[in-house]
Structure 1
Amino acid sequence: MFCPRCGRKLEKAPPTTCGACGYALFVNARPTGSLIVHEDGRFLALRRAREPQAGLWETPGGFCDGWEEPAAAAVREGREELGVEVTLGDFVGMYIGSYAFQGELLPVLDCFYLATLDGARVTLDPDESSEMAWFPLDQPPKLAFETMDKAIRDAALRLGT
């Protein structure tokens, strides 16, 4: 591992400080914005079309762009993955998780929001999802990431299902 500022080899993995230039490196969680689209005690799940966890069910969502608030990222991801506008509801919670990417296990800070569809027909992005289904909030399938399991449980409690 090398210092991103001066290029010098680091003495140890982050968190550390570069001995050459003094640059402090940390392992920071990457924020996400995710949706729990719900209706009549059910939530919308998408089957992942790509790794990691291809083939498992997930909630719509993704990483925040630079300087993007998690709520804005959740709405954007809804538009990109579902092809519709969503109405953002209450904040469900933040959960620390992990995401395997480019040979690394990255820490993530997953931010979940309740949401509803605005009556439009969902059109999945085939690069992201191979199918969709509605599941009872109190009986979710195995989800791709532990943070999703926790968020669905908390959403079910919040919504009284």
Structure 2
Amino acid sequence: MRAYGSVASFCPRCAAPLSEAPPTRCAACDYSLYVNARPTGSLIVLDGDRFLALKRAAEPRSGLWETPGGFCDGWEHPADAAVREGREELGVEVTLGDFVGMYVGSYEFQGETLPVLDCFFLATIEHGDITLDPAESSDLRWFALRDAPPLAFATMDAAIREVRQRLGR
């Protein structure tokens, strides 16, 4: 079977072979096929001038620091995904604050580079003690906004810069 990146080379509506990689139109049924960015919901958990970073335990970019977050499920809103990821990755309930922004980035998955739309929200821990999921993270640390480490993804660096500018730090 031919494949175009992470997209199969057959029409998802009628299964006819596609003549080219998306964006394209199926010659058999006229269905338009696109490759769209996958949305995420991510947290910038603040404690004064510090933000919480997790050390990635899994690929891609294992061993680098990141902010908590992950992919949206189906029709899940990025804000809901961010709260869910707070529960899953940190074991705590978070309260969302301001929306920081959306950033287009990339994510390596199963040998392909996928487009992502990373949506970041300010957050505070509502209650609970942080308990890391060892499959996701091997460590956590609070970093000063002005002294952020190199983060696993450029979208995270951009979001931290935005927060630092907004807060004047």
TM-score category of the 2 structures, normalised to the smaller one? over 0.9
Question: 2:73 aligns to what?
Answer: 65
RMSD between superposed Cα atoms in Å: 0.8
Give the C-alpha shift of residue 51 in structure 1.
0.6
Please, which of 91, 105, 117 is the counterpart of residue 113 of structure 2?
105
In 1, the alpha carbon distance for the partners of 2:25 and 2:156 equals 34
Please, which of 146, 155, 159 is the counterpart of residue 163 of structure 2?
155
Please, which of 119, 130, 137 is the counterpart of residue 129 of structure 1?
137
In 2, the alpha carbon distance for the partners of 1:64 and 1:32 equals 5
Identity of aligned residues (%): 71
Q: Which amino acid aligns with 1:140?
A: A
Q: Which moved more, 1:4-13 or 1:26-35?
A: 4-13
Q: Does structure 1 residue 8 correspond to structure 2 residue 16?
A: yes
Show structure 2 runs of 5+ residues with no match: 1-8
Provide, for residues 39-97 of structure 1, a one-character-per-residue CA deviation record: whole Å limited to 9, x for no partner.
Answer: 12010000001011111000000001111110000000001000000111000000000
Show structure 1 runs of 4+ deviating over 2 A: none
TM-score, normalized by length of structure 2?
0.93
Give the C-alpha shift of residue 119 in structure 1.
4.2
Give the C-alpha shift of residue 9 in structure 1.
1.6
Show structure 1 runs of 5+ residues with no match: none
Secondary structure in structure 1 of the residue aligned to 2:13: coil
TM-score, normalized by length of structure 1?
0.97
In 2, the alpha carbon distance for the partners of 1:93 and 1:37 equals 15
Give the C-alpha shift of residue 160 in structure 1.
2.1
In 2, the alpha carbon distance for the partners of 1:160 and 1:41 equals 10
Question: 2:62 aligns to what?
Answer: 54
Q: Does structure 1 residue 114 correspond to structure 2 residue 122?
A: yes
